[in-house]
Structure formats: C-alpha cells, structure tokens
C-alpha cells in the first residue's frame, strides 16, 4: 500500500489498482481526487470536508463513490445514491481494500462548543486514520495517522495516545495549523526528542509518498 500526503489531514491510499482519498478538505490540492475510486470523510469540519470540491470531483467522475457519517451525507443531497453512510462497527470493501469504522465523536474542543460526530477508518487492518479524535484502533496497527496539532490536542495526550495504540510507525497529519517551526517542535517532542512512544515517527511533506510494507 502506498500512502501520499495531500495537505493537512488528507491522505491518498493506493493498493492493488484501487485509490482511496481520505478527508480532502479546504487545505487539500484538488489533484488528490485524480483517478480516485472512493472518498472517505471522517466528519463535517471544513478542513476535512469541502463540499464544493467534493461535488466537483463527483461531477467529473461518475464512478467516484463516498463513504462517510450521517452528518456529512446529509449535506450531499442530489448525489445520495453515491454516498454510503457508515458508523462505529461497520465494515466494507473498496476494490479489495478492507475498511472498518471505529469511533463516534470528535474530540472535545471546549465544553461550550457542541460536539460533532467523527469516525475513524482502519484499512486492511494495518493503517488507521482517526479523524479528529484519539480513538484507539481495535488492535495494534502497523501505521497510525497522528493528528499532530489541533485546538483540541496537547503533546502529552499525543504521546500517551501513541503509547496506548502501540503502532510500529506514526505519520503526523493535521498539521496546517502549525508553522514549520511549530511542526518541528511537535514532531521532536512526539518523536525522538521527547519522552518516547515506542513508535517510529515518520514525517511526510505534502505530495510525498511512502510505501507501507
């Protein structure tokens, strides 16, 4: 499986001739959609779901399909037959890639801000995208996509999350809110310069790919 980072929380997965795009939001280059078979969206916030761009991609490719939660699906009227609503405990397959769904809620930003639903996606049992939550996957995974910075995170929680999830590798995502210096600080603390997580921290730049063994 090859993973390519496309800005902020968006990644593109390619495996066995199938291409899946996860969370193409407002910081995502529309090129991420090119040749995609499916788009998966964890929740409704604009940095993960940009309605106009997704509709444009669906119009450009009649074969493109979407899997997401109810809140996002409700905003995609007119293309409902191409949108599958999924939630905690569901499982499906996209061109030979097995996907299971885990988690229900976005992490708390502040108690006064109403929470929204959020789902995470586990691919082939070995790569987990949690969306905007610190959902622990159902078993140890090879690769964890780690929300490295957000209004709802702090470094101590990220370290403990990686320790609890126990992946072999963590790839930072959700980094558009950081300057280059800020990203360096966060990745140092969650990586080799911090207290230790037991996982390799591998940073991908926008457009950079990694083949997962």
Structural domains for the chain: 2-211 (3.60.15.10)
Q: Show the tokens assigned to 39.
A: 């788009």
Residue 157: which residues within 8 A CB-CB, separation 6 or more? 134
For residue 187, the surrounding DSSP H or E stretch is helix 180-190
Question: Which pLDDT score is estimated for 107?
Answer: 98
* Strand, helix or coil for residue 112: coil
Q: Give this prediction's pTM.
A: 0.97
Closest CA to 128 of 140, 113, 117: 140
The 10 Å CB-count burial string (b at 16+, else e) for 25-55 is: bebbeeebbeebbbbbbbbbbebbbbeebbe
Residues of the chain with pLDDT under 50: none
DSSP state of 108: P
Question: How far apart are the C-alpha atoms of 86 and 143, rounded to whole Å?
Answer: 22
Strand pairing class (65-68; 200-201): unpaired
Question: Which pLDDT score is estimated for 213?
Answer: 79
């Amino acid at each position: 499986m090859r993973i390519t980072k496309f800005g902020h929380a968006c990644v593109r997965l390619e495996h066995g001739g199938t291409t899946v795009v996860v969370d193409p939001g407002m910081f995502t280059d529309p090129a991420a959609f090119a040749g995609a078979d499916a788009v998966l969206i964890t929740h409704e916030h604009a940095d993960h779901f940009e309605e106009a761009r997704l509709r444009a991609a669906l119009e450009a490719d009649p074969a493109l399909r979407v899997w997401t939660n109810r809140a996002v699906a409700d905003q995609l009227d007119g293309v409902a037959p191409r949108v599958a609503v999924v939630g905690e405990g569901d499982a499906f397959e996209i061109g030979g890639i097995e996907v299971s769904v885990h988690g229900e809620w976005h992490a708390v930003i502040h108690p006064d801000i109403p929470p929204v639903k959020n789902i995470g996606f586990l691919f082939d049992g070995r790569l987990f995208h949690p969306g905007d939550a610190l959902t622990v996957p159902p078993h140890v995974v090879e690769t964890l996509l780690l929300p490295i910075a957000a209004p709802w995170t702090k470094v101590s929680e990220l370290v403990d999350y990686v320790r609890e999830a126990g992946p072999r590798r963590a790839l930072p995502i959700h980094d558009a809110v950081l300057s280059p210096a800020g990203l360096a600080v966060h990745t140092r603390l969650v990586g080799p310069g911090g207290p230790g997580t037991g996982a390799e921290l591998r940073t991908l730049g926008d457009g950079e790919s990694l083949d997962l063994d």
